[in-house]
Amino acid sequence: MRQAAVIDSAYRITGVAREGGMAKIYRAIRIKDNKFVVLKILKEEFRHAPDALGRLNHEEEIGLLLNHHNIVNVYPHEGEKSFPYIVMEYADGATLAEFIEKHRWLVVPSALKIMMQLLDALEYIHSMGVIHQDLKPENIIMLPKGGIKILDFGLSYYSRATSSAWKNMLSIGGTPAYTSPQRLAGDISRDCDVFAAGVILYEMLTGSLPYKGEDLLSFSRGDLANLKAPRPSLGNPSIHPRLENIIMRAISPDKKDRFMSSTAFGYALAQIAKKSVSYKKRDVDWLLITFLVLLSAAAFIGYQFYILFHG
């Protein structure tokens, strides 16, 4: 799509934001009110593919349903479309994945701020009968002032979807490394989003994933008896033990050990957010030792002067 191209007399292309597997994301101006928007346009080779069209239409249907400050808005389009696309809110910022790649990990307060917003949005999404199913850092936009926006509901499950094809395709899931073993085994529930949120928190604080996708797939088939993630403090010693225990509970492969809702997960984090949840571990407190050595030296020198003048 060329720069300044006008789409359906309604949108003027201003640039390419990013490119996905089946679609290109363009920045645009909505001509009627000069508002910046984003157009998600199917690539030409997918414009007649039923799966790609179904996913785009499904994403638009769910986007028009949802209205939350931490979710990218989808706007209705008046009139016919020349080709398949959806109109979305313009959210200026890098993805969480890009931030982690650049900085390795986030400090604890920043990670918790993101998580509380994510879990609040999840509670709203679930209350609307939607399960995202593809939560991952690539689908979270970090806004300049500290907010976040969740995007890409193309793989989401919606119990009242008008597309019977999508409503019944329960085998569809997201990226395996962020998908619970139960979801990989075919069990669709809100729990899969809560598990993904736990994996995202782990990744934000360590820069690595707790599991490999193939390990979760094997566990979902019963091939592994003891799948266990490394404790996050091994990768980031600043993680407080209480926070670490919450993370390990959130990403447990066993469903009965995990938080059963985003609200429960958020409540657990809120309980420790008011206290010190990060610290620097030291096997030896060298600052204290240095102080004691200097204090002892001063005492010794003082004693020697006392002997010299009073002996």
pLDDT tens across 85-115, in order? 999 999 989 999 999 999 989 999 999 999 9
Tell which residue, 130, 250, 241, has the closest CA to residue 178: 250
Question: In this structure, are 246 and 146 located in the same domain?
Answer: yes
Question: In this structure, are 31 and 121 located in the same domain?
Answer: no
Question: In this structure, are 62 and 113 located in the same domain?
Answer: no
User: Is the confidence at residue 299, as pLDDT, over 70?
Assistant: no
Question: In this structure, are 243 and 305 located in the same domain?
Answer: no
Question: In this structure, are 100 and 85 located in the same domain?
Answer: no
CATH number at residue 162: 1.10.510.10
134 catalytic residue (yes or no): yes
Dihedral angle, C-alpha 241, 242, 245, 246, nearest 10 °: -140
Lowest mean pLDDT among 25-39, 81-95, 170-184, 185-199: 170-184
Question: In this structure, are 238 and 164 located in the same domain?
Answer: yes
Does residue 279 lie within any of the structural domains?
Answer: no
pLDDT band for position 27 (cuts 50, 70, 90): very high
Lowest mean pLDDT among 49-58, 99-108, 195-204, 229-238: 49-58
Mean pLDDT, the chain, integer: 84
pLDDT at 284: 41
Question: In this structure, are 198 and 156 located in the same domain?
Answer: yes
Question: In this structure, are 262 and 125 located in the same domain?
Answer: yes
User: Is the confidence at residue 277, as pLDDT, over 80?
Assistant: no
Does residue 56 lie within any of the structural domains?
Answer: yes
What is the model's pTM?
A: 0.84
- pLDDT per residue over 144-169, tens digit each? 989 999 999 988 998 888 864 455 45
Catalytic residue among 33, 92, 120, 134: 134
Does residue 1 lie within any of the structural domains?
Answer: no
Q: Over pLDDT 90: what percentage of the chain?
A: 54
Question: In this structure, are 33 and 119 located in the same domain?
Answer: no
Q: What is the DSSP letter of 71?
A: B
Question: In this structure, are 150 and 250 located in the same domain?
Answer: yes
Question: In this structure, are 41 and 144 located in the same domain?
Answer: no
Strand blocks (E) in 102-190: 130-131, 140-142, 148-150, 157-158
Is the backbone of residue 4 left (phi > 0), alpha (psi -120 to 50) or beta? left
Does residue 264 lie within any of the structural domains?
Answer: yes
Number of domains in the chain: 3
Does residue 278 lie within any of the structural domains?
Answer: no
CA distance 11 to 13: 6
- Whole domain around residue 49: which residue ranges? 6-89
pLDDT band for position 7 (cuts 50, 70, 90): very high
